[in-house]
A and B are shown apart, each in its own frame.
Chain A
Amino acid sequence: MGKILDKKDLKCFFEKLQKIGEVVAPVKNENISFKPVKKFSEVCFEGRSMFPIKKYFLPTKEAIAEIKNDAFVEKNDFKKRIIFGARLCDLNGLLVLDKLFLDPLYPDKIYAIRRENTILIGFACKEPLSDFCFCESMDLKDYYDLLITENNEKYYVSIGSKKGANLVTEYKDYDINLKKPVCKKKLKNKNIHDFFDEKFWEKDALKCVSCQRCTLLCPTCLCFDVADEMNIDLKLGTRNRSLDSCHSKDFTLVAGGHVFRDTKLKRYRHRVFHKIQYFKDKFEIPMCVGCGRCMEFCHSKIDFVDTINNLKK
């Protein structure tokens, strides 16, 4: 259920959003990238961005505190932002991040403020955006404020929250069922506990060059590093949080010098298990949203879905 917009209404709607805050949307240059946009015509309605929208909640590197006179001053970001044109997989990626960063026991203040000040407006996919898409297998949830589906020169806007509903009160209601895309690629086995043995992962790991693109470009990979950086005067500096990767060879290095996951195989296997198994065991949804970026942007096109589908005891 939701509202219906005529083709020309969308531009007006977009302009209305610009009055609320900074609108970021996919823009196509050499590749597609989410950027602040000024004009409706800049928005790219095809394909999906290489880098996911997690960057607006967990910037790849940011100062979480300033260091001044041997003390910390915490930083916060209250910018109102509208993410316009995210795909359902990326929006579900936020559901995964929310589970951790909005955890009632240890909520992350910076993340929570950004999350609250952001409006999420998605574009539904009419068909899979690449051969690597397999979101159908990952049971995506309707996680958005609004989701726009284009159909026969009209835009059907599904409402996912009160925040979203308030934005589209003036439009007409619709009552039809919208088709969801069918993915050719499927993940057939979502319980891989029994396949931890190295022999199942060896072949893929040999092809891994540790470029970390699978994790950096993943909409749910959030592993981060925290480090202090000081100016050369040694008085002022920042405590920075930056995106890290479990494929980095020192990711599990402890103070004594031991590295727990010391091979490419162990690191690759850990990523796959975290995405498909570990997270689900804890939070009931898998960490993977089926966007396929980790395979599409892998230099060696390591296909973990294929590998899992072929696992046999």
Chain B
Amino acid sequence: MNLKKYKILSTSKETADDVFLRIETDINPQPGQFVQVSIPGIGEAPISTASCDENFLDLNIRVVGNVTKAIGNLKKNDYIHLRGPYGRGYPLVDFKGKNIVLIGGGCGVAPLRGVIKYLEKHRKDYDEITMFFGFRTPQDVLFKDEVAVWMKKYNFNMSVDKSPEDNPFFCPVGFVTQILDQTKIETKNTEVLLCGPPIMMDKCVEILKKKKFKDSQLWVSLERHMKCGVGKCGHCMAHGFYVCKDGPVFRYDEVKDITDE
């Protein structure tokens, strides 16, 4: 099973549904990869990585199922069982010298945080960095402190679907697709990295194609039922791809026909 035990350095509640863990480990994933997290007696779940560091690993966990609920109950100095990292992440090394556009929705922003951490470490290797992030409400915004920094440092765009309470980021209300649609983006020498709910990704791809992006410039992260994480158990298979091993990040032209399966 290759499970190893690691110590939790800190935990915090990101939003009402999200918990953030920092784990002491030398697992140093490529941004976009995931780890399998086990809770004895409850089960195992794939969680995408949200950091890029040799000494620790950050996970942002949306509490939706049994395992994520149990992870949410863990505290500082508890131990957690991990294996990985698994899958194919965003091939950032190949994007050297290019403009990078990040588009994320909801907890899909977590893996993109890993990308940002990587880009910050290798900032001089990349040209313009542009971000489009969408959340349900201002209260659902992930990594709030960092968002404040990103706003200043990069071409940062953020929207919220609705704002029933206060809106500390003063961001526009509407879907992320709207701000994407309204913003001019350089298509030349640019790679676009998307992560979010399928519907959001589909709509964004549509808009990007209108903006004359080629399918081969777009990188999407797919969600499937994953059990083993290493391309065996068959659950995540879609049109012959093992999403866990061949993905979860794919170049859009590889997978544009398989979204329904």
Seen from chain A, the residues whose Cβ lies within 8 Å of a Cβ on chain B are 64-65, 67, 70-72, 74, 100-101, 103, 105-106, 108, 222-228, 230, 234, 237, 239, 244, 246, 251-256, 260-261, 266, 270, 273-274, 277-279, 281-282
Contact = CB atoms under 8 A, between A and B. Distances in A.
B48 interface: no
B1 A252 contact: no
12 contacts: A64-B1, A72-B38, A100-B232, A103-B231, A103-B232, A222-B234, A224-B232, A226-B228, A230-B41, A244-B234, A254-B225, A260-B260
B67 to A, nearest CB: 9
B68 A255 contact: yes
B202 interface: no
B151 interface: no
A227 B261 contact: no
Interface in B151-198: none
Contacts of B68: 255
B233 A228 contact: no
A261 B261 contact: yes
B233 A270 contact: no
A282 B245 CA distance: 12
A282 B238 CA distance: 13
Nearest to A225: B227
Given A64-B1, A244-B233, A254-B225, A260 B240 contact: no
B261 A228 contact: no
Given A64-B1, A251-B225, A252-B224, A260 B233 contact: no
A67 B260 CA distance: 37
Nearest to A279: B240
Interface centre among B224, B240, B260 (most CB of A within 10 A): B240
A225 B233 contact: yes
B75 interface: no
B240 A224 contact: no
A246 B65 CA distance: 22
Contact of A260 (B41, B42, B245, B261): B261
Contacts of B234: 222-224, 244, 246, 274
B64 A226 contact: no
Contacts of A282: 240
B239 A278 contact: yes
A72 B40 CA distance: 7
Q: Main SS of the interface on chain B?
A: loop
A100 B1 CA distance: 15
Contacts of B147: none
B44 A226 contact: yes
A72 B225 CA distance: 23
B223 A234 contact: no
B97 interface: no
B255 interface: no
A72 B44 contact: no
Contacts of B233: 223-226, 244
A252 B235 contact: yes
A266 B91 CA distance: 32
Contacts of B148: none
B98 to A, nearest CB: 29
A237 B40 CA distance: 9
B81 interface: yes
B230 interface: yes
B92 interface: no
B40 A101 contact: no
Nearest to B236: A252
A118 to B, nearest CB: 19
Contacts of A71: 5, 40, 81
Given A72-B3, A273-B240, A228 B42 contact: yes
Contact of A254 (B223, B237, B239): B223
Contacts of B44: 226
A254 B232 CA distance: 17
Contact of A228 (B40, B231, B237): B40
Contacts of A100: 231-232
Interface in B66-85: 68, 81
A202 B101 CA distance: 42
Nearest to A105: B230
A74 B225 contact: no
Contacts of A103: 230-232
Given A72-B3, A228-B40, A278 B240 contact: yes
Contacts of B225: 251-254, 260
B43 A227 contact: yes
A224 B226 CA distance: 11
Contact of A234 (B41, B228, B232): B41
